[in-house]
Amino acid sequence: MGERTQERDEEFQHFVTGRWPRLMRTAFLLTGEQHAAEDLVQSTLEQVYVAWRRVGSADEPEAYVRRVMINAHARKHRRRLREFLAPKDDSGLVHEVADTGDRIAQADDRNALLKALAQLPPRQREAVVLRYWEDLTETQTAEAMGCSVGAVKSNAAKGIAKLRAIPGLAETVTYGGRMR
């Protein structure tokens, strides 16, 4: 076993080293916070390690990793809801944006999107990040989120609509604020 385990560990190390930057960026968009992103990626990869014997030989280990990460993100959010006993209404677009819209409009342009993302319900945030940052198809996104393609379309559309409704963000794009 020793040699086989060592080989698998080395494979896994290469995988981690190669994917770490990308996973950190995705986790950062999901969590909006450096340490939370590190925790999410580390926890995801620990789970991947447990299943590496099977995952490492799969055609597309990235799909498994994404699924684990999204599950972990969703679980963490569910825990927070329980902790704070403050469930968010998924349809609370007007309320959420109206409360924070002014602050976001005045915020630093890079932070504007992160703040806006943080305002989204987690499923919408996941759909937006996977579709537009990871550039996954709707089917791949549905697989990662463990839901139907219809749910992906709905969550992504709602999420994008909310981002569009934030004046500061739209202006940033329109006036080339992102182009350094």
Provide the binding-site residues for other proteins, judged by CB under 8 A. 1-2, 4-5, 9, 12-13, 16-17, 20-21, 24-29, 34, 37-38, 42-43, 45-50, 52-54, 110-111, 113-114, 117, 128-129, 132-133, 135, 160, 163-165, 167, 169-174, 178
How far apart are the C-alpha atoms of 39 and 27, rounded to whole Å? Answer: 9
Give the chain's radius of gyration (CA, Å): 18
DSSP 3-state assignment of 118?
A: helix
What is the full DSSP assignment across 39-104?
A: HHHHHHHHHHHHTHHHHTTSS-HHHHHHHHHHHHHHHHHHHHHHHHT-PPPTT-HHHHHHHHHHHH
Least distance from other proteins to the Cβ atom of residue 151, Å: 19
Only one residue has tokens 């896994």, namely: 12
62 contacts: CB under 8 Å, gap ≥ 6: 19
Least distance from other proteins to the Cβ atom of residue 27, Å: 8
Q: Which is nearer to other proteins, 92 or 167 (CB)?
A: 167
Under a CB-based contact definition with an 8 Å cutoff, are residues 30 and 37 in contact? yes
Q: Which is nearer to other proteins, 48 or 152 (CB)?
A: 48
Least distance from other proteins to the Cβ atom of residue 3, Å: 10
Q: Which is nearer to other proteins, 106 or 174 (CB)?
A: 174
User: What one-letter code names the amino acid at 46?
Assistant: E
Q: Which is nearer to other proteins, 17 or 106 (CB)?
A: 17
Task: Give the length of the chain.
Answer: 180
Q: Which is nearer to other proteins, 20 or 147 (CB)?
A: 20
Least distance from other proteins to the Cβ atom of residue 101, Å: 12
Least distance from other proteins to the Cβ atom of residue 17, Å: 5
